[in-house]
Amino acid sequence: MYGRKRKIKYGRVMLLIALFAAIVALVLSFFRKSDYAGVIDEVMKADIRSISGTISTVSDIDVRVYSKNGIRYTNQHEKIKHIDSFESSKPGDSTKADNAKRLFEGLYKLKKTELLEDLPLKEDGYYWVDSDFSVKGKKLFFGGNEEYNFDLYYDIEAKKVYVKKEYFTEFSNKNNKQKFQGYEANDEFVKIMEELAGKK
């Protein structure tokens, strides 16, 4: 008498393995420290669905996360003066949104300079580009889009660019210990920045 052979359902096994791998990757992503410029580069190479944001002048830059009555808020920069906003879904804003994308794309072409704890106070001395990028999600079993928020600070007089050293979610308290990585702006970067700021 022969025992009954059990048929292994490989499809289910592979699905469980893939699901486990996705969960592990998701958990690890919460603890991974990511280089800010590296995350920007990844997003610029992804399938970008929409871009929106603002450009302003500021005098002092404060990226710390604050909390009041259970509500978190950030970007308490000193003397924020709004210049313009952009949204790629609006036909009239497509050029501005494209210029914002070009600024972040061009970051890797720039020469790295100093790493600073804080940026010095300068009266109306910085352009602040605050941009939100929505990209096609790449995580297995998790559809929809992934959202990224990037801040770029441009020293108008010195023609230097600064971004945060590490990338964390916008309201993470880890931003309270951020440092700023500096870059020397080249002629192309300056031209795009001035165009976005309405100077040309």
Confidence of residue 144 (pLDDT cuts 50, 70, 90): confident
- Taken in order of first residue, the domains within the chain and their CATH numbers are 33-196 (2.60.40)
At CB < 8 A and 24+ separation, what contacts does 159-162 make? 159/184, 159/185, 159/190, 160/113, 160/184, 160/185, 161/107, 161/110, 161/185, 161/189, 162/61, 162/116, 162/119
| pLDDT for the residue 76 | 85
Task: Check whether 135 has a pLDDT greater than 50.
Answer: yes
Name the residue with higher pLDDT: 22 or 50. Answer: 50
CB-based burial label for 103 (10 Å; 0-12, 13-18, 19+): buried
| pLDDT for the residue 27 | 44
Average pLDDT for 153-157: 98
Task: Check whether 28 has a pLDDT greater than 50.
Answer: no
| pLDDT for the residue 18 | 65
Task: Check whether 156 has a pLDDT greater than 70.
Answer: yes
Name the residue with higher pLDDT: 92 or 9. Answer: 92
For 62-99, write each residue's pLDDT tens digit: 999 998 888 988 888 889 999 999 999 998 899 999 99
Tokens of 133: 């990028």
Average pLDDT for 27-35: 56
Confidence of residue 142 (pLDDT cuts 50, 70, 90): low
Confidence of residue 109 (pLDDT cuts 50, 70, 90): very high
Helices (H) and strands (E) in the chain, counts: 4, 11
Task: Check whether 146 has a pLDDT greater than 80.
Answer: yes
Confidence of residue 152 (pLDDT cuts 50, 70, 90): very high
Q: How far apart are the first and last CA of the chain?
A: 89
Task: Check whether 179 has a pLDDT greater than 70.
Answer: yes
